Amino acid sequence: MTADTKETDARILIDDLLRAAGWDPADKSQVETEVRVTGNPPGVESPGSTATVLRTSDGDAVPTGRADYVLRSQRGRPLAIIEAKRQAIHPYVAKQQALPYAKRIGAPFIFLTNGELIYFWDYQNDDARVVNSFFSRRDLERLVEMRATRKPLATIPIPDTYIRQGETREVRPYQKETMQALDRTVELGKRRFLIELPTGTGKTDLICLYLKRLLQSGHAERVLFLVDRDQLAKQGIDAIQDLLPGYPSYWLKAGMVRQEKQVTVCLLQTMTGRYAEFTSGYFDVVIADECHRSIYGAWQTALTHFDALHIGLTATPAPYIERNTFQFYHCKDDAPDFAYSIQNAFKEGYLAPYRFATGITEIIAAGADLDEQHYDPAEFERKWTNEKSNRLMMQEFDRLAWETYQDLAPRQKIGPGKAVVFAITKHHAARLTQYLNEIHSDCKGRYAEVITSDIPNADELIRRFKQENYPQIAVSVGMLDTGFDCREVLHLVMCRRVRSPILYQQMRGRGTRTAPHIGKRRFVIYDFFRNHEYFNDSDADIFTGTGGGYAPGKGKPRAPTPRELIELGLEDEWLEAVSYVEVGPDGERVDKREYVTDWEKAIKAASENDALLRKVKQNQPLTEQEEAWLAQRLNQPERYFNEENLRRAYRNPGGNLVDFIRAALGMLKLKSRDERIEENFRAWLVAKNLSPEQAQYLSLLKNRGIVKGNVSIEDLFAPPLSILNAANLGIELFGEQGLKQVVEELNQSVLAA
């Protein structure tokens, strides 16, 4: 095969990639090919002789050849040139060849590609960097417009107060410091930023205020807000529409038609299946809430697809954040760009302090296996609780709560104040709720409510819990552990064992928000399973994961496992190890295979006559109302088909309802292993911010890994890699230890897919 043929192959791929980004390679008003770059343009000095070499005014040679592609604006102006290379050639090496062409024709941007890797070069501001796709015409026109009209961030004052939900709130000193640090980052050109703030310190409000600065100053026009829980998405869209009313926003849900609005809120699980609908340049800013959960495997591909200013938010202390997160956000010394400690938040009065209820019955026996990390929740419930112990826990909690609530919050009118009870299973939650309602029969079953994914009106119950007098107590398993915000909470009741330090701190954080309107002084944790002793946590010595930790005599704190970091201690043992799904308010156990079979039968049977299922079958997008109605209709007795149950049954944490419908109808084309590896590899390259030589080397190892299944250090010394001197080249590029580490990461982050 000749070099020309190989370049022709690359151009076929490039034309396909341009079409995917909305360009029409056949339309010469959009895309010109083989554009001759000659003559003596403005700003180019001729040497005054017959020499063929021209130079731009800043000394760059202008080859008298052709630009492979020129992308033009709607007004016909050059936006970018594309320098195409054969697949065997790394595109980064074409930088100096492409730059004079771009300057000659006045194109502000350059793409360098071999049809496999694409580099985007905003050569007046940054070096070339790997991107996942070409930018659309609209993307490039927007970048040109923003460059022309952008104001310095220093000209936009940071407010002292803002109005949220009708009340005036103060912009706190640490929130101002965060915004000032972000300003410096943006002005210096750093494109990724990691913020660590404890739960309850106003991360969402802070980021909305900062987005307003970016939008007002012309540093951004389109924003993506990524979360991994429905509750976080709901809170996010509420805050955005409250604090940014002048900027259109919406929540992009699975199966919904995409809207051209300035702010998009989306679940990470949804974007994982939909990111290919967007070009890499579609968003100017990507916010990742609880970002340490989004740097892994398939989820990473959704995050790294976008060439944007990335701002990561986390409440997880630095020692429990895996190194990939720091690498992605370009943080030095494994430290976030900005951090505000929970100790300072308590000391300065921005979080409500806590104490532990004393003298309560301890349910867990001393002989329990504390080192057992993954257990069957239903078996644990059967082993450690019974009707007598469950009633006793609820009676003791309820009595103490009524005795103390007026001391905790003198202006709390209804007793005992808002409480969240963390149960082991859905069955356990139902029993605890029943016992609480029996104690207060005068409330006619409204004193306590079960809130789980199987409750068809869970959102309405959460709203009532937050805004109305009853229910006073929310009993849940998994759903309210993280991402749930109710500042009036005075009581947290731990009726389950917790061994993840991250999850423990997330659960504790449900009570830390201040509530001046009820005079909230502190909150109480009723820890019936002695979790706080396991973590050495007390109101005097707060456990943060950075010291202390794990009960005396139980050995040193163990390092968090990758599994724990990925799932953050959420019920991941259910996803893999447990063979059943808990269904309905009472937690009926259904075998996962049986649940999937029932789901597929139900969807196939209903798809002929159900108008919304027919739309999904015909690949037509749903409206927001249709998506909500379909989800509500499916989440009914007997089987309670909903996303959480289906994720567990299919063992697929990233699936969404529409994907599961398509799977049931046999429409979901699963990507091949090679496709998944290529996708994960591109995302990994973007996340690691490697040099072109390092990227090219790892591409070589990845290709070997596709053939063999994985890559070992020994492979570098055997053909075919030894013929290319792979071992010495790898040590030269990464160092001996660095090479071992990067090979291990390649296996875990890319080839394991």
Tell me what the mean pLDDT of segment 398-422 comes to: 95
Residue type at position 149: T
Average pLDDT over residues 697-719: 84
Across 128-143, average pLDDT: 93
Residue with tokens 């003559």: 39
Q: Give the separation between CA 422 and CA 475, rounded to whole angstroms.
A: 6
Over 60: is that where the pLDDT of 463 sits? yes
Integer angstrom CA distances of residue 456 from 420, 580, 635: 19, 21, 6
296 vs 192, residue with greater confidence: 192
pLDDT at res. 232: 85
- pLDDT over threshold 90, residue 71: yes
Closest CA to 508 of 349, 354, 632, 333: 354
Q: What pLDDT sits at residue 120?
A: 95
Whether the predicted pLDDT of 62 surpasses 60: no
Specify the 3-state DSSP secondary structure of 5. helix
Of 216, 128, 142, nearest to 179 by C-alpha is: 216
**419 pLDDT more than 80:** yes
Helix residue ranges, H only, 456-550:
458-467, 501-508, 531-534
Report the mean per-residue pLDDT for the chain: 82
Residue 439 above 60 pLDDT?
yes
Instruction: State phi, psi for 212 to the nearest 5 degrees.
Output: -60, -40
* Confidence (pLDDT) at 628: 84
Q: Got the DSSP string for 214-273? A: HHHHTS-S-EEEEESSHHHHHHHHHHHHHH-TTS-EEEE-TTBPP---SEEEEEHHHHHH
Segment among 83-97, 432-446, 537-551 with least mean pLDDT: 537-551
Q: What is the Cα–Cα distance from 206 to 204, expressed in whole angstroms? A: 5
At residue 379, the pLDDT reads 72
- pLDDT value, residue 123: 92
pLDDT in tens, 323-357: 667 777 888 767 888 999 889 999 999 999 999 99
* Cα–Cα dist 570/24, whole Å: 46
Residue 477 has a pLDDT of 85
Q: How confident is the model at residue 64, as a pLDDT?
A: 52
| H, E, C per residue of 572-610 | HHHHHCCCEEEECCCCEEEEHHHHHHHHHHHHHHHCCCC
Maximum mean pLDDT: which of 53-62, 428-437, 682-691: 428-437
The pLDDT assigned to 187 comes to 86
Q: Work out whether the CA dihedral 420, 423, 428, 429 comes out positive or negative.
A: positive
Model confidence at 296, pLDDT cuts 50, 70, 90, reads: low
Pairing status of strand 263-267 against strand 78-84: unpaired
The angle that helices 426-439 and 387-408 make with each other, rounded to 10 degrees, is 60
Residue 421 or 698, more confident:
421
Q: Are strands 66-72 and 78-84 parallel, antiparallel or unpaired?
A: antiparallel
Each residue of 549-598: pLDDT tens digit? 444 444 444 444 433 333 333 344 445 567 788 888 777 888 888 999 99
Supply the pTM of this predicted model. Answer: 0.81
Work out the pLDDT band at 472, boundaries 50, 70, 90.
Answer: very high
pLDDT at 223 over 90: yes
% of the chain beyond a pLDDT of 90:
38
Q: What is the mean pLDDT of residues 150-177?
A: 92
- Map out the domains of the chain with their CATH numbers: 3-149 (3.90.1570.30), 153-340 (3.40.50.300), 362-569 (3.40.50.300), 579-664 (no CATH), 673-751 (no CATH)
Residue 486 has pLDDT above 50, yes or no: yes
If you average pLDDT over residues 22-40, what whole number do you get? 85
End-to-end distance of the chain based on CA atoms, in angstroms? 33
How does pLDDT run across 602-642, given as a tens digit for each residue? Answer: 999 988 888 999 988 888 888 888 888 888 888 888 788 98
Q: What is the pLDDT of residue 59?
A: 44
CA nearest to 534, candidates 359, 368, 314:
368
pLDDT of residue 465: 93
The whole-number pLDDT of residue 745 equals: 81
User: Cα-atom radius of gyration of the chain, to the nearest Å?
Assistant: 28
Predicted pLDDT at 566:
36
Q: Residue 208 has what pLDDT? A: 95
